[in-house]
A and B are shown apart, each in its own frame.
Chain A
Amino acid sequence: MTDLRSHLERIPEDELLSLASLWLVRPDMPFNRQKVVQRLVGFFSSSTIRSRLMEGLDRNEAGIVTLVYVLGSASREGIAAFFAPKAHLVVDRDIDRLLKRTVLLLDEDGLLTLSSSLDYSGVVSLDVFNGRMRTDGRRIRLVETLKAMMSIVSASRTRNTSSSIRRLARSSAYVFPLLSQEEVVTLFEAFTQAALSRGLMKDVAGRIVIDRAEAEAFFSLPLVTIKACLLCGGTAHEDGIRLARLALLLDDGSACSLLWASRHGDGVDDLVARFMELRFIMGDDEEDTEASEALVTDDLVVRIPASGRSVTPALFMSATLVDRIVTYQVSREAVEAGFDLGIDGKEMEEALGTASPLVHDRIAMWRERYDEFSFTRGIYLETSERNAKLIAQLPLLRIHILRQISSRGFLMKASSEEQWRRILVYSGFDMLPRTVGEDDAADDEAHGDGRAPDACADAVEVPLSSLAAKAPCGDRSFTSALADVIAQRIDSDDRQAYMDMLDAGYILDEGQIVPGRTLARMRRASGFDHQAKLNLLSSAISEHGLLEISTPDGTMRAFVTMVETRGRTKSARLVDEDGDEHVIPVDRMFALKEVLS
């Protein structure tokens, strides 16, 4: 929020003058900035004015105000992007009107914000967004989708480079049939970025490894916080949470909780842009807290309708389809990764429930292979005597062995770990645990800051009392009384100008209705003056003005984008206040009138 005085002191002189002409009966001459500011502040401090300003907002304006209210501040472009596909012109016009009526102000950074002197409680409402986010009705199941992505990353041990992640995302797109390939890539990138930032994923020797404890912590967060993490790249700061919560609630017109922080973070535009990028998941509100039983078949396929809070299944299996039921494959690579994360065979069996003996047998076989080796950072390789005898005789391994310590152990070169691991696998030792050691502790400390912002998740639960159930509809009960005053005080020549001002919402008090006051005249053109119509249309294009256009089919208000010639006919391309496009021959317009906006 910002206060009106600061706003008025900041805006350029011509804008201040324009506001003064609009609201003050007699602007000061010669122009004295301080006095003008003082007078405008005085004018808008009236409780009647303030109340009538709020009463005069229509539904579209209430939507913009609510968005700024939720975000704290926003740029013009961000607001236009948020309300896309509504025409930019229409949103721009609404923002201009709100600025002229000081319902919105500009803060120090030039961002749109709310006025500290106005009470918005009756106008901010999520009702205006009701159902807007449900663009396609897809049931994406964000949490299951992210777990599936995590399982794919875990089993693949992908490199921590953006190209590898993108490649993995593209090759896994078939797992997510409800998402397009671009959406899969976008979500993969957002998730891995957030996960790396929070420590759920870690870079170990250039490859991504999952941290089980952090994974469990992450997936126990509320859905809104998870979304905020995706928006904010992991830190889930307050703007992200507000935006994510707004997104969660957009389909819910009923009362809800939302904490509006008094400060805003940097990069709100980036946030909104990211929001638009991830918009396809924002409407997802499914949160299965109850886990359902896994169905396991002998072909090592596991199907889980809902994993609930548990992440264990995703840490030792690889997802193959995310749909109403999530399908996983028990593969050697995924099980090996699970062993590396400390998930033992017993836990796997518990996760699989009453799986077939074949599946348990397969896991037990892999466990047996896995347990034959251990690698401790140093690097010390320990295995069975039998295996050690074989290893000692492998020519390709010799240059990688520093020393054979015992009948079962070798000191290996750390610098060539990747090469000698490949040799071991090639030689038939294909279930090799990861190397453990002091670096694990260091890794645990590195990402501590991932925790702090989750405190915001608790903070956002504080309810706001000022959220209206229904958005205003623009009914201004005071206008009829003011119209009567206009009729009484103002002679017929100036009456129309006053009525235009009243319609546009710039007459809020009878003190503004003074004979002799110079008001901007709205230009008009009638049907017989073809050139005047063309001139008015051209002006509207250059000034982004709104025109009221009367044709045999009715009257509409629209912005003019272009006047084009087709044959001998000139036609105007128009965008109405709903954002719909029209093309109307100029000859069919029998009256044109500027609309004060």
Chain B
Amino acid sequence: MESRPLVVQSDRTMLMDVHDPASSQCRDTIVPFSELVKSPEHLHTYQITRISLWNACSAGFGEDDVMSALARFSRYEIPETVEYFIRDTCRRYGVVRFTPLDDRFFLLECTSELYRRQVLSIPALRDIIIDDGDIRVPMNKRGDMKVILIDHDFPVQDLIPLKKGRPLEIALRKVCASGAPFLVRDYQREAFDALWAGGAPGAGYGTVVLPCGSGKTIVGLVAMARLKTSTLILAPNVASVHQWRREILDKTTLEQDDVGEFTSERRDIRPVTIATYSMLIWRSSTDEEFHNFDTISAHEWGFVIYDEVHMLPAPVFKLSSSLQAIYRLGLTATLVREDGREKDVFSLVGPKRYDVPWSQLEKRGFIARAYCHELRIAMSEEDELAYAMAPLQTKIAIAAKNGRKLDVVARLLERHEGEQILIIGQYLDQLRRIAGHFDLPLITGSMPNATRDRLYQDFRDGRIRILVVSKVANFAIDLPDASVAIQVSGTFGSRQEEAQRLGRILRPKMRDSNFYTLVTRHSREEDFSLNRQKFLIEQGYAYSVEDV
């Protein structure tokens, strides 16, 4: 009997039975047109959305391809509403196209008079387009047009050739500058190949979705080595900037002078320049122009990389619409945005070209398993009374700073003696107490970057085994050798932050990783931990709960 691991539900979610023999093949088939939502054991959930279908269409999938794929693996009949949605959505792709005209304008073409009338009736376009039979659009409005059109369910098929930018001589090393051999993993190469698509029209821009810690940076380096053009890399913060710089110098043939940083600390524009998002959109007042952006975009870039593209600040979207003419790569662990601007990522960066979940990489042996543990700790009577009488925000702090957590930290440090350990928390006074009690270095947001980098390097080199870090400071940690993380107080951040933080701490390595969360029993921390537990399980992490 043919294996059919998929259940397609009327709300356009799909459940995939991971124990079915055909699950791997099924996954590979449905990923191009769906998003992985969660992947706990037994059943992975995928979602079909407009964006996911348009992503597929831009890669050459048609409505019949999608339906055949579903029919092949679906255990039951495809709900009519789902089929209707798929066909209706796919048919929208390609009805509006951008085609080249000259250096100053491009043409907006529609496949039918009906669509043409609908497009022309969009009020926001009236001030932009010139309709003299053909619809002409100024080249610098390319990004704005895409955003407006997709808001009206017109995903644009952009066939305007991309500009090459200033050439750059760059290649990947076979041996890193540090001496270790360097091999690009097959999924990293596959990711670039999916983006590049052999240089065909309508390719060369898009988003790659890879789990935290799986080497998205390497995908960027592979792309740079292939495109050999001046490159602008946009990253979420200074630590990420430094991380990129290190990787570029370690794994490519570029020299120090080839790589510049544009941050609050330095403003150095080079053939490869790494800037923070915040610097890009900085201005002294809301009346001012975005001077930094103007400075950066004045250069002849051929390639832009958006690191952690799901965190792209909203103003950058507007600005980066003018970076439409060049090769673009968005890197992220998840395309889901808290602000719902996935459409903007689709339009301005590009459609998703490649995606692989954590469990796949783990199965293929590229990353070690991560185990999540929740340790529930009782409060003292004194703390219980204070908790009961306190207002809500104070309750959270009382629970978080439960004094009995210190003993648990001690036991964990003993349990994992010899391993590289991070202790993370929300409250500085709590972290100071821990750091002071165990005589450990403490990294906070107020620490100068140079000092912070030095401590990171010492940790990386093994001179320091345990670091205590605040929530602010741990944002962009890249510490490949950290195998244990102990979260003493909750972060209460977004779901993506949770996964990002965990992923940064638990980078791919040869040994299993352990992530401990200390939670005070019978407190609000338990509610947050329940959400966190669900989220981490959805990402595929093994999870256990222990009362201590």
- Which A residues lie within 8 Å of B38 (CB)? 299
Measured in the bound complex, the distance between the Cα atoms of B544 and A358 in whole Å is 7
A428 at the interface (CB under 8 A from B): yes
Contact with A along B1-41 (1 / 0, CB 8 A): 00000010111010100000000000000000000001011
Measured in the bound complex, the distance between the Cα atoms of B13 and A297 in whole Å is 16
- Which A residues lie within 8 Å of B11 (CB)? 174, 177, 321, 323
Given contacts A298-B537, A299-B538, A358-B544, contact A177 B81 (CB under 8 A): yes
Are A324 and B76 neighbours in the complex by a CB distance under 8 Å?
yes
* CB-contacts of A104-141 with B (<8 A): 137
| A residues whose Cβ falls under 8 Å from a Cβ of B | 137, 174, 177-178, 295, 297-301, 303, 321, 323-325, 332, 356-358, 361-362, 369, 386, 389-390, 393-395, 426-428
- With an 8 Å Cβ cutoff, the count of chain B residues facing the other chain is 34
Q: Quote the shortest CB–CB distance from B49 to chain A (angstroms).
A: 14
Q: A297-B43, A362-B545 are in contact. List 9 more A-B contacts (CB 8 A).
A: A297-B42, A297-B537, A299-B537, A300-B534, A395-B389, A426-B392, A428-B384, A428-B522, A428-B523
Measured in the bound complex, the distance between the Cα atoms of B387 and A551 in whole Å is 90
Measured in the bound complex, the distance between the Cα atoms of B14 and A303 in whole Å is 13
Q: List 21 A-B contacts (CB under 8 A).
A: A297-B43, A298-B543, A299-B534, A301-B40, A303-B15, A303-B43, A321-B9, A323-B9, A324-B76, A325-B7, A325-B15, A358-B537, A358-B544, A358-B545, A362-B545, A394-B388, A394-B389, A426-B392, A427-B387, A427-B388, A427-B389
- Which B residues lie within 8 Å of A358 (CB)? 533, 537, 543-545
- Write the chain A residue with the least CB distance to B38: A299
- Which B residues lie within 8 Å of A362 (CB)? 530, 545
- Which A residues lie within 8 Å of B537 (CB)? 297-299, 358
Contact with A along B499-523 (1 / 0, CB 8 A): 0000000000000000000000011
Partner of B9, one of A298, A325, A356, A395: A325
Are A298 and B40 neighbours in the complex by a CB distance under 8 Å?
yes
Partner of A428, one of B80, B395, B533: B395
- Write the chain A residue with the least CB distance to B376: A365
B114 at the interface (CB under 8 A from A): no
Measured in the bound complex, the distance between the Cα atoms of B384 and A358 in whole Å is 26
- Which B residues lie within 8 Å of A361 (CB)? 545
* CB-contacts of B68-109 with A (<8 A): 76, 79-81
B265 at the interface (CB under 8 A from A): no
B186 at the interface (CB under 8 A from A): no
| B residues whose Cβ falls under 8 Å from a Cβ of A | 7, 9-11, 13, 15, 38, 40-43, 76, 79-81, 381, 384-385, 387-389, 392, 395, 522-524, 530, 533-534, 537-538, 543-545
Q: Quote the shortest CB–CB distance from B369 to chain A (angstroms).
A: 15
Partner of A295, one of B43, B392, B545: B43
Measured in the bound complex, the distance between the Cα atoms of B537 and A298 in whole Å is 7
Are B41 and A298 neighbours in the complex by a CB distance under 8 Å?
yes
- Which B residues lie within 8 Å of A369 (CB)? 522
Measured in the bound complex, the distance between the Cα atoms of B395 and A325 in whole Å is 40
- Which B residues lie within 8 Å of A427 (CB)? 387-389
Q: Quote the shortest CB–CB distance from A347 to chain B (angstroms).
A: 22
- Which B residues lie within 8 Å of A300 (CB)? 534
- Write the chain B residue with the least CB distance to A305: B7
- Which B residues lie within 8 Å of A298 (CB)? 40-41, 537, 543
- Which B residues lie within 8 Å of A178 (CB)? 10, 79, 81
Are A324 and B384 neighbours in the complex by a CB distance under 8 Å?
no
Given contacts A297-B40, A299-B538, A428-B523, contact A393 B385 (CB under 8 A): yes
Measured in the bound complex, the distance between the Cα atoms of B538 and A177 in whole Å is 23
Measured in the bound complex, the distance between the Cα atoms of B530 and A358 in whole Å is 11
Measured in the bound complex, the distance between the Cα atoms of B39 and A414 in whole Å is 47
- Which B residues lie within 8 Å of A426 (CB)? 392
- Write the chain B residue with the least CB distance to A395: B389
- Which A residues lie within 8 Å of B81 (CB)? 177-178
Q: Quote the shortest CB–CB distance from A284 to chain B (angstroms).
A: 15
Given contacts A390-B388, A428-B387, contact A295 B9 (CB under 8 A): no
- Write the chain B residue with the least CB distance to A136: B80
- Which B residues lie within 8 Å of A323 (CB)? 9-11, 79
- Which A residues lie within 8 Å of B13 (CB)? 321
Measured in the bound complex, the distance between the Cα atoms of B385 and A177 in whole Å is 47
- Write the chain B residue with the least CB distance to A325: B7
Q: Quote the shortest CB–CB distance from A46 to chain B (angstroms).
A: 54
- Which A residues lie within 8 Å of B538 (CB)? 299
- Which A residues lie within 8 Å of B533 (CB)? 299, 358
A362, A369, A395, A427: most-surrounded residue (chain B CB, <10 A): A427
- Write the chain B residue with the least CB distance to A396: B389
- Which B residues lie within 8 Å of A357 (CB)? 544
- Write the chain B residue with the least CB distance to A324: B76
Q: Quote the shortest CB–CB distance from A184 to chain B (angstroms).
A: 13
Measured in the bound complex, the distance between the Cα atoms of B132 and A264 in whole Å is 72
- Which B residues lie within 8 Å of A303 (CB)? 15, 43
Partner of A297, one of B41, B76, B530, B544: B41
Measured in the bound complex, the distance between the Cα atoms of B11 and A490 in whole Å is 71
- Which B residues lie within 8 Å of A137 (CB)? 80
Q: Quote the shortest CB–CB distance from B350 to chain A (angstroms).
A: 30
Are A428 and B42 neighbours in the complex by a CB distance under 8 Å?
no
- Write the chain A residue with the least CB distance to B381: A386
Are B389 and A177 neighbours in the complex by a CB distance under 8 Å?
no
Measured in the bound complex, the distance between the Cα atoms of B419 and A384 in whole Å is 42
Measured in the bound complex, the distance between the Cα atoms of B79 and A230 in whole Å is 27
Q: Quote the shortest CB–CB distance from B124 to chain A (angstroms).
A: 30
Given contacts A303-B43, A361-B545, A369-B522, contact A324 B388 (CB under 8 A): no
Q: Quote the shortest CB–CB distance from A53 to chain B (angstroms).
A: 45
- Which B residues lie within 8 Å of A428 (CB)? 384, 387-388, 395, 522-524
